[in-house]
Amino acid sequence: MFGQVAALKLDHAEAHYEHGAALSRIGQFADAVARYDHAIALKPAYADAYYNRGNALQHLRQTAAAIASYDSAIALKPDLAQAYNARGLAFQASAQTDAALASFDDAIAIKPNFAEAHYNRGNLLREIHQFEAAIASYDHALAVVPDYAVAQWHKCLSLLTIGDLDRGLPLYEARWKRIPAKALKHRTWPQPMWLGQVSLAGKTILLHSEQGFGDTLQFCRYAKLVAATGARVIVQGPKTLVGVLRSLEGVSDVIAEGDPLLTFDVHCPLLSLPLAFKTTLATIPSPQPYLRPDPDRVNAWAEKLGVKSKPRVGLVWSTGLYKSNIDRSIPLAALLPYLPPQREYISLQKEVRDADQPTLESCGVIRHFGQDLADFSDTAALCALMDVVISVDTSVVHLSGGIGQKTWVLVPYISDWRWFMERSDSPWYASATLHRQNADRAWQPVFEKIRAGLVSLG
């Protein structure tokens, strides 16, 4: 309709503007920018058109042009709080942290109850590791909009990252609203969820996987504590993990997702168990090991690897396809120069990204077994045969740490909460050493430490 109006009234700036807004709503951002340009040509002082043009440019990842458009909107309408807020996001996307913070502050100064600006300010502060300030910003947003679920979620992650499990774990239950459905398995059974509120003596409890392989491997450690309450424990997990999960102490049955359920009285998602046991930093259960590789698989892989003549190093340099996982991955070509000779390097990855495949095939220093890894029982056996496992933040870290293997974790600057802050050890895994990026987010200093460690590996 607005397109028809604009066609009929070529001098109708508002029609072009509304047409641009309609195009933006359906994701046609390049066409939307053209409509906003027409509107601005007809009405040069059209602040709202500049603002929405900036939003469309942001969707097109034309950040510098978006900032210029927001600047124009602000120059024309200095009290347009949403333009300051949007400009803050654009500055943040282009790593202009100080400018981003100032722009969010300007938005809030104009509109103190601007919940979204408080929330965005919190995200920026969290990104630069100013967690206490970030939490305060989230609290401001929640004071304005108490049911602001995404603000509550990021406040939760900030609290967990600084080790404040007392306040963070109850808020972690908000994940059912915030984590994408494709990454979270939310079961709705008639049996009640157990969160530590009643005795389990004489009852059967189903502990079930809910997120990724690594999450399952990390939090299945609680099965032993659950069994100690007098409960019969059933664990349900992905089929590829069943063999490993069967080694858990205190578990009566392990079933694969999709298989018929056994009778149970109550259930608990694995990542709710820290809350059920009121876990603090000091009480994180870290038995070493709590998972055990299958001896037959270990023997089979020892034979496949052959006689060991030099230290063996297991490598994982990339992880899954979700954006958050891609950010944790490392190009194999960047890591290779830091792998000293006279070491035997074993890929612990089942799959290799297309971008890394030519490097892996041509380097001649890494043995890759790919499809020979039938499930995590094979990976566990390979981990057990290494002198050290070096991995980005992925499931192999939790598998290797869970069996008590020496593990060096490559931790990005913006890391998952479970690695906490500014520590090289992990309360989850006594055998793990964390090698962290600094604020410059470069991997080279981390690789240099890895090389030095490998040189001294006996």
Residues 327 and 438 in one domain: yes
Quote the CA–CA distance of 375 and 380 in Å, as a whole number: 9
Place of tokens 């404040």: 164
225: which residues sit within 8 A by CB, 6+ positions away? Answer: 273, 277, 285
Same domain, 277 and 381: no
Together in a domain, 138 and 61? yes
pLDDT of residue 223: 97
Burial of 335 from C-beta contacts in 10 A (0-12 / 13-18 / 19+): buried
pLDDT tens profile 310-343: 999 999 999 864 444 456 799 999 999 999 999 9
In this structure, the answer to whether residues 165 and 188 fall within a common structural domain is no
The last residue of one of the domains, among 156, 181, 206, is 181
Given 181, 211, 236, the domain boundary residue is 181
The verdict on pTM exceeding 0.85 is yes
Tell me if 189 sits within 8 A of 389, measured CB to CB.
no
CA dist 57 and 30 (Å) reads: 8
Domain count, the chain: 3
pLDDT at position 1 is 46
| CATH assignment at residue 334 | 3.40.50.2000
Q: What is the CATH number of the domain that holds 64?
A: 1.25.40.10
- The mean of the pLDDT values for the chain is 93
What range does the domain containing 106 cover?
2-181
pLDDT of amino acid 225:
97
Together in a domain, 246 and 275: yes
Q: Which ranges of the chain have pLDDT less than 70?
A: 1-10, 178-185, 320-327
Do 94 and 166 sit in the same domain of this protein? yes
Residue 58 burial (10 A CB sphere; 0-12, 13-18, 19+) = buried
pLDDT at 6: 43
Is position 276 within any domain? yes
The answer to whether residue 316 is domain-embedded is: yes
| Residue 177: per-residue pLDDT | 76
